[in-house]
């Protein structure tokens, strides 16, 4: 027999609803930056071998942001390095306890004046690797430390998203004029409490290679961070794009002043994009990762591997295992390339991406050198890129996998997916069938206001069904309120007793069945 639930029963019922880790829960984010500058002046990676630093112009860093939505957590890291081979990425992931390994993206800015993290820029003709092994081990530990620190700094956050087309004067295509991705994408996390910037992620395709000298520097990325953080605050994280064949637009002016001009131009473009940013308090996260096997055709790479030049034991056989990732954070969509993809490959993947903004991240989770289409591989204009690629099929294998992931993905759209809908859509993931054997109960939640409606949660014979709309059947427990109050309660912004005592929320039904929610949904 149904009876009116007491005030105590209402509080109990809503406390059971409160901890549901809905994909639509308010976002959390935290950021951190750790210095990875070597104590001893290193060989510099990029341009030519045997280029040892004579001074440090600016420190190099690992900059990390951790984003959490519901129970899903992802870490995105940018290292001021020319690249990291996949075994190093796996090692770093293994040191992190706060974020699942499969949800960690480790990208490199590809600066051409950072410490050699791969091994090809020492004295290869004498069999001397460019990697300082002691620094290399410490560096990997520090990158993991940046992720852990960012995770400790998690706080309620809002997400701002934007993109800006036509960002020119920064990068140019040295091979085919006009094939150039001039779109800059931005994700910014700000504190939900005081609106201070936590992190700003900037994605653009450019080779940071202005300064061909003997000073250690993160090049244009240093000035991007300096100028953007001076106004926006927080931690700026630069993610390079499909940068293969691209160089910095220097006009033959390789001065520090010009380097700063380019970094400032990227900062200005970021601020311009953010003027029209979309702001979200909830954004579901999805992460896909796929391992790929790629034939190795490059005999020079094999010889370098046999000579022990590489920082990790790779490329010693005729195949290499690498990986790609596909990530959505609300409407934003991100893919990762394990090397320097040429712009046409980036455009090919972008055509199939449905999100907004679209982030194509190069030199992420691996560095296989240049990734070319099979049509471009071996052409005279791509002689250098071909010589620095693992093989002819690498570009196609990677691109085909990313296109397949993009076609299958459905990034959330703020307009079509309300926080209430996302809340109920996530409930089945918490259902514990073994606790509901022989039980039949219907919960009905009636929410007035925009984004509301009637929702039913039915538990019957070990199964759970969530549906929108009233079925006409008699409900065992009924909750009636408005969208604003419901979200305030389940997101922790209003106490359930306050909602009940103020008359903003009414609950009718069976107290015992209300209490069973904790059994059915795993609390």
* DSSP assignments along 344-385, one per residue: HHHHHHHTT---SSEEEE-SBS---BEE--TTTTT-GGGHHH
Q: Are residues 156 and 260 in the same domain?
A: yes
Q: Are residues 53 and 101 in the same domain?
A: yes
> Are 10 and 104 in the same domain?
no
Cross-strand bridge partners of residue 162: 186
pLDDT at residue 23, as a whole number: 39
Amino acid 150: pLDDT: 98
Per the structure, the complete domain to which residue 100 belongs is given by 36-284+329-365
Residue 399 lies in a domain: no
3-state secondary structure of 287: strand
On whether both 191 and 100 belong to a single domain, the answer is yes
Residue 438: what pLDDT?
83
**What distance in Å separates the CA atoms of residue 20 and residue 237, rounded to the nearest whole number?**
31
Maximum alpha-carbon separation in the chain: 88
With tokens 């390095």, the residue in question is: 81
Residues 66 and 12 in one domain: no
Element housing 164 (H / E): strand 155-164
User: Burial level of 308, CB count in 10 A (0-12/13-18/19+)?
Assistant: exposed
Looking at the domain assignment, is residue 377 inside a domain? no
DSSP state of 159: E
Q: In the numeric block, which tokens belong to residue 462?
A: 């070990």
- Is 170 within 8 Å of 248 (Cβ atoms)? yes
Helix (H) or strand (E) holding 498: helix 496-501
Q: Are the CB atoms for 322 and 350 separated by under 8 Å?
A: no
pLDDT value for 13 = 54
In a domain, 370, yes or no: no
Residues 6+ apart with CB under 8 A from 429: none
Contacts of 448 (CB under 8 A, 6+ apart): 481, 482, 483
Answer whether residue 411 is part of any domain.
Answer: no
Cα 28 vs. chain centroid, distance in angstroms?
14
What angle is formed at CA 272 by the lines to CA 267 and CA 273, rounded to 5 degrees?
Answer: 100
Same domain, 437 and 353: no
In b/e form, how buried is each residue of 205-238, taking b as 16+ CB within 10 angstroms? bbbbbbbebeebbbbbbbbbbebbeeebebbbbb
Tell whether 12 and 90 lie within a shared domain.
Answer: no
d(CA 200, CA 313): 35
Neighbouring residues of 416: CB distance < 8 A, sequence distance ≥ 6: none
User: Are 159 and 82 in a shared domain?
Assistant: yes
Give the end of a domain, one of 320, 350, 365.
365
Whether 372 maps to a domain, the answer reads no
pLDDT at 54: 97
Low-confidence ranges of the chain (pLDDT < 50): 1-5, 8, 11-12, 15-16, 18-24, 415-416, 523
Within a domain: 125: yes
Query: In whole angstroms, what separates CA 388 from the centre of its chain?
Result: 27
Rounded distance, CA 492 to CA 14, Å? 10
Q: How far, in Å, are 43, 183, 252, 288 from residue 108 at the CA level?
A: 17, 19, 25, 20
Look up the CATH number of the domain holding residue 516. 3.30.1050.10
CB 281 within 8 A of CB 242: no
What is the full DSSP assignment across 76-101?
A: EEEESSS---HHHHHHHHHT-SSS-G
> Does residue 201 lie in a domain region?
yes
The reported pTM is 0.77
Residue 409: the pLDDT is 87
- Residue 15: what pLDDT? 46
DSSP 428-457: GGG--GGG-TT-EEEEEEEEESTT-EEEEE
- What integer pLDDT is reported at residue 492 of this predicted model? 66
Answer whether residue 395 is part of any domain: no
Which residues make Cβ contacts (< 8 Å) with residue 470, sequence separation at least 6? 444, 446, 454, 456
**Total number of domains in the chain:** 2
- Rounded Cα gap, residues 161 and 202, in angstroms: 10
pLDDT at residue 523 in the model: 47
Distance in angstroms (rounded) separating the CA atoms of residues 484 and 493: 10
Both 73 and 143 in one domain: the answer is: yes
Same domain, 167 and 215: yes
84 and 182 both lie in a single domain: yes
On whether both 10 and 60 belong to a single domain, the answer is no
């Amino acid at each position: 027999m149904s009876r009116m639930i007491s005030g105590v029963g209402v509080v109990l019922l809503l406390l059971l609803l409160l901890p549901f880790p809905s994909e639509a829960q308010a976002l959390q984010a935290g950021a951190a930056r750790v210095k990875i500058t070597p104590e001893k002046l290193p060989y510099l990676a990029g341009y030519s071998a045997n280029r040892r630093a004579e001074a440090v112009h600016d420190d190099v860093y690992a900059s990390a942001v951790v984003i959490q939505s519901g129970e899903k957590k992802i870490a995105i890291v940018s290292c001021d390095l020319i690249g990291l081979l996949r075994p190093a990425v796996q090692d770093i992931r293994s040191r992190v306890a706060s974020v699942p390994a499969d949800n960690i993206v480790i990208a490199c800015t590809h600066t051409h004046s950072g410490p050699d993290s791969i091994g090809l820029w020492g004295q290869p003709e004498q069999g001397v690797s460019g990697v300082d092994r002691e620094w290399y081990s410490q560096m990997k530990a520090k990158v993991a430390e940046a992720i852990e620190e960012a995770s400790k700094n998690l706080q309620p956050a809002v997400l701002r998203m934007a993109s800006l087309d036509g960002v020119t004067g920064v990068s140019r295509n040295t091979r085919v004029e006009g094939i150039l991705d001039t779109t800059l994408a931005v994700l910014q996390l700000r504190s939900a409490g005081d609106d201070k910037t936590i992190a700003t992620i900037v994605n653009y395709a450019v080779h940071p290679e202005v300064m061909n000298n003997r000073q250690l520097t993160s090049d244009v990325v240093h000035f991007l961070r300096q100028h953007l953080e001076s106004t926006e605050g927080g931690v700026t994280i630069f993610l390079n794009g499909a940068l293969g064949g691209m160089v910095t637009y220097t006009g033959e002016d390789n001065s520090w002043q010009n380097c700063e001009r380019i970094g400032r131009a990227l900062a200005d473009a970021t601020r311009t994009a953010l003027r029209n940013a979309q702001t979200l308090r909830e954004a579901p996260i999805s992460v896909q990762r796929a391992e790929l096997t790629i034939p190795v055709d490059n005999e020079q790479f094999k010889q370098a591997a046999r000579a022990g030049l590489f920082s990790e034991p790779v490329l010693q056989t005729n195949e290499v295992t690498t990986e790609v990732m596909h990530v959505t954070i609300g409407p934003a969509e991100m893919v990762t390339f394990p090397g320097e993809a040429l712009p046409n490959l980036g455009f090919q993947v972008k055509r199939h991406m449905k999100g907004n903004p679209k982030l194509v991240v190069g030199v992420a989770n691996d560095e296989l050198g240049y990734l070319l289409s099979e049509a471009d591989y071996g052409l005279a204009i791509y002689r250098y890129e071909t010589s620095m690629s693992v093989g002819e099929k690498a570009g196609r294998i990677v691109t085909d996998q990313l296109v397949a992931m993009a076609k299958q993905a459905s990034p959330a759209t703020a307009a079509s997916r309300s926080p209430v809908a996302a809340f109920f859509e996530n409930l089945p993931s918490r259902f514990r069938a073994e606790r509901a054997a022989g039980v039949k109960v219907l919960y009905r939640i009636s929410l007035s206001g925009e984004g509301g409606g009637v929702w039913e949660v039915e538990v019957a014979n070990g199964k759970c069904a969530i549906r929108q709309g009233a079925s006409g059947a008699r409900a065992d427990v009924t909750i009636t309120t408005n969208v604003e109050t419901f979200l305030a309660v389940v997101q922790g912004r209003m106490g359930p007793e306050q909602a009940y005592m103020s008359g903003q929320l009414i609950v009718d039904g069976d107290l015992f069945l209300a209490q069973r929610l904790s059994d059915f949904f795993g609390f």
